[in-house]
Amino acid sequence: MFKCDLCILEHGAEWLDSASAPKSEEELAVHLESEHHMPTARQGETMEECKRRFLKLYPEAQILETCKCPDCRVIRLNRDLMRAIVRPMTITSSILLWLIAILLVQLVAECVWGGPVLS
């Protein structure tokens, strides 16, 4: 039996018993290319021939948003994580700036008029 470590990591060891688990070296090569966009050179094939064949079969592998290779998946996850972190920080910063502005107006009002403007 041939195993795909990426699928085992993602789906667990039970994936080995599933129908999609490769049964031969050729099936594993096809699986790596189709499911994970990882070019696999066939016997007698140069890396240049392998790349040409792969990109002809899977043109979507050239686009970050549609590529299924581990590197592109990590890049997308990192980008999405940064967006999820930065967006709330931006909102929080805006709220914080508004609160500081209100406090400054209160402080100036107390100094100038002798009492709070907002109560």
Give the CA diameter of the chain: 89
Q: What average pLDDT does the segment 54-78 reach?
A: 92
**Total number of domains constituting the chain:** 2
Claim to verify: residue 53 and residue 3 sit in the same structural domain: yes
Percent of the chain with pLDDT over 70: 85
| Residue 50 confidence (pLDDT) | 95
Residue among 4, 8, 68, 78 at smallest CA distance from 38: 68
| Residue 113 confidence (pLDDT) | 64
Tokens 């031969």 belong to which residue?
24
Which residue range is the domain that position 105 belongs to? 71-119
Buried b (16+ CB within 10 A) or exposed e, 2-34: eebebbeeeeeeebeeeeebbeeeeebbebbbe
**Position 7 confidence tier, pLDDT thresholds 50, 70, 90:** confident
Claim to verify: residue 89 and residue 63 sit in the same structural domain: no
Higher pLDDT, 116 or 30: 30
Single residue among 29, 48, 68 that ends a domain in this structure: 68
